[in-house]
Homo-oligomer: A and B are copies of this chain.
């Protein structure tokens, strides 16, 4: 079975990577870009029967820095 974890910086946390992308897009002539936020998507290939709680435990312990990041789990 698969699970997808979407990890994004929390609102209010400065995103220098997103700013760099926005600036670069502007330099390429894309002028309608008002903001860019960049995060991670982690695709997990798990043994059948793995629970969402286990995936949440993985997020809390490793996959997300919960001080500055929030995460969303999609079980598939």
Contact = CB atoms under 8 A, between A and B. Distances in A.
A32 interface: yes
B41 A36 contact: no
Interface in A19-76: 21, 24-25, 28, 30, 32-47, 50, 54, 57-58, 61-63
Copies in the complex: 2
Contact of A43 (B37, B42, B44, B47): B37
A1 to B, nearest CB: 9
A38 B40 contact: yes
Interface of A: 6, 8, 18, 21, 24-25, 28, 30, 32-47, 50, 54, 57-58, 61-63
Closest 7 CB pairs of A and B: A35-B45, A32-B47, A37-B43, A34-B45, A41-B41, A39-B41, A32-B50
